[in-house]
Chains A and B, each alone.
Chain A
Amino acid sequence: MRHILAAIAVALSPITAAADVIYTVNWPLFSFANAIADGRVEVVFPAPLDVDPAYWTPDADTLLAYQRADLVLLNGAGYAKWVEDAGLPRSRLVDTTQDVRDRLIEMDSGPVHSHGPDGAHSHGGGLAFTTWLDPDIARAQAQATYDAMARRWPEHAETFAAGHAVLDRQLAEIDAELHAAFAPLRGRSVLASHPVYQYLGRAVDLDLISFHWEPDRTPGQEEWARLDAAVEERNATIMLWEDSPTPETIELLDERNVKVVVLPPLGNRPTHADTSMPDVLRNYVDGISSN
């Protein structure tokens, strides 16, 4: 009976947005919105822990929740492709990298093909999307988040402004600390297990050589040969990893005098629930400083 009544209530309810709720497409934006909201509005990041939100597709119920939210914070740069397909209300979508579009990084395109009268095109390529790893872009995203929230809930503007000021100051400090920590590596070649550190690399002036190595799998001979060439030609001594690689990989890298530095890009939420995005970036400073 309860289910029937609930179904009737849902069916007869007009299609309106839920009260005072923000949905985000990744954890960094959740962290920013949460810091700014200071409990005045609910902030929801619904992706399960075991997925990469960049490639995750929400189920229909979750999509409906996004559809009914007061604001949906998007990362932009092609992050979370499902957003393009989802019927979300455009007036409530906030592209947090809209104002820094000219600073987004293009990646190599995929194979080009043509059929019909439309000419050649490619489905690959696109923009690098781990924008929040550049603290300066992260600040722009936090600013866009604050602007949208203050516009939507002017009655909380003062609280939001206070939260944003603290967040912005933290990110500015971390920006300086990151530059200091990476200073010894400035202009030098650094290996990356995946092409996810483009924004960090550009921010602190690294010559990144990216691979497609999975932390839970020891690479094959061909991949080691490519790494050896990079180490030899570019004198790379550090490899950034999204997660700790296998002991065998660590040992093989150690044999080549390549140190492993784990810097999780954290599109999804970290293990500790009370960690904030500034904490994550501070861990980057600690991670690189200890090497």
Chain B
Amino acid sequence: MTGLVRLAALYLWRHAGWSALIMAVLAVLAAIPMVGARLAGLATEEMTARAATTPLIYGPAGGALELTLDALFFTGAPDPGLTMADYEDLASQELGTVIPVLRTHAAHDAPIVGVDVEYLEMRELVIAEGRPMVLMGEAVAGAAVARRLGLTPGAEVQSDARGAFDIAGSAPVRLQITGVLAPTGMADDEAILTTLRSAWLVAGLAHGHEDLAEADEAVVLSRDDGVVVANARLQEAIRVTDVNRGDFHFHGAPEDRPLGALLVFPHDARAAALLRGRVEDAGDARQLIRPTEVVRMLLDDVFRVRALFELATGVLGTAGIAALAGMVALTLRFRRPEFELARRIGADRGAVVALVGLELAILLAAGLVLAAGLTATVDVFGRDLYLWLLFGAT
């Protein structure tokens, strides 16, 4: 038996290219369903966990899925359809903790998300390096985006020029990174979290410039009855510093400033029921959704797609195995003189069958080991892969 094993191994070694090809095909055929199941499991786990830690989301009327993706996963087209008046109204009911969220722009594909600082507490986010954001123009970077962009405390990140919500044709703004979050395996890893005022600044709702009452005449178009009109030469600051912080100002009423969604953490089930009733009574302009329900519906769709995927994988796998069997049969036909020679020198038919069986067993075992290795890699890097698949960045 040892001789047969040695003979089989030597054959495979001598035909290393063919052996590697068969092994790779077997590995891929075995790995596809395993990796697919792992990624689906991760997605289910992450999405469910994220939704489960957010009891309710309040947002503008429209698609519940879009609202959930925007508020929880910072993905999809943002819809800043709420205002601070909505927040004040909901918070004043004192039925729970209400966290405003606003996403209008990104920086190098990482979403810039304006939140109340209480968001960090509610999500139990840990600052791994540096400190939380406290002033306008400051931000903390998620672990993955910090790694990707090389962000550390003290670094700056510039918002992309165009956002989904350009009220005043916003110019890029440089945010100062004050901290980096510890990895969470959730959407926060890919986000740049900042204060609401900073998010409004990025959205073009605030700006900083020199005092026009004392400005050089070169930047003044007209002065009329106490009204100073500036021309295009007026330089607007693109970063907030200790020196120019006082120059930044907002236009418009504070209650009109936009928000994307409100994360609602009711005190108890009664408070949640009260809130739902009040929102329903208030009309159709707003909605209060349970993200777990939305995610469950999404996952139901995903599972339906997954069943199709598994069917397709099964068909492809069967075809692959058939092709592989044909290939092996062809190879055996080519090896007929070799088997004939073996019989002439004393090997019986059983030994030849055993030799071929051993060769295939070795290839199958190696293929399975490779497939297990691929699956283990997904276990290690699966969260990054999942985030990349979901959010399009690593």
Interface residues, chain B, with chain A CB atoms under 8 Å away? 91, 97-98, 116-118, 120-121, 124-129, 131-136, 138, 168, 178, 182, 195, 197, 209, 211-213, 226-231, 234, 245-246, 248-249, 251-252
Contacts and interface: CB of A to CB of B under 8 A. Distances in A.
**Per DSSP, are chain A's interface residues mostly helix, strand or loop, or mixed?**
mixed
A98 B76 CA distance: 38
A88 B134 CA distance: 7
Contacts of A91: 91, 97-98, 116, 118
B121 A14 contact: yes
Interface in A62-99: 63-64, 67, 81, 84-92
Given A60-B131, A89-B116, A115 B227 contact: no
A110 B228 CA distance: 12
A86 B134 CA distance: 5
Nearest to B220: A113
B238 to A, nearest CB: 15
A11 B133 CA distance: 14
A15 B227 contact: no
Contact of A14 (B124, B131, B197): B124
A159 to B, nearest CB: 23
Contacts of A92: 118
A40 B168 CA distance: 49
**Per DSSP, are chain B's interface residues mostly helix, strand or loop, or mixed?**
mixed
A116 interface: yes
A267 to B, nearest CB: 19
B227 A90 contact: no
Nearest to B139: A87
Contact of B228 (A11, A63, A111): A111
Nearest to B246: A81
Contact of A15 (B120, B135, B212): B120
Nearest to B248: A85
Interface centre among A13, A14, A119 (most CB of B within 10 A): A14
B136 A85 contact: yes
Nearest to A17: B121
A11 B127 contact: yes
Contacts of B132: 15, 64, 67, 87
B236 to A, nearest CB: 9
A118 B251 contact: yes
Contacts of B231: 115
A89 B117 contact: yes
30 contacts: A11-B127, A11-B129, A12-B128, A60-B135, A63-B134, A64-B132, A64-B134, A67-B117, A67-B132, A81-B246, A85-B136, A85-B197, A86-B134, A86-B135, A87-B117, A87-B138, A91-B91, A92-B118, A112-B227, A113-B227, A113-B228, A113-B229, A114-B228, A115-B229, A115-B231, A116-B168, A117-B168, A118-B252, A121-B249, A121-B251
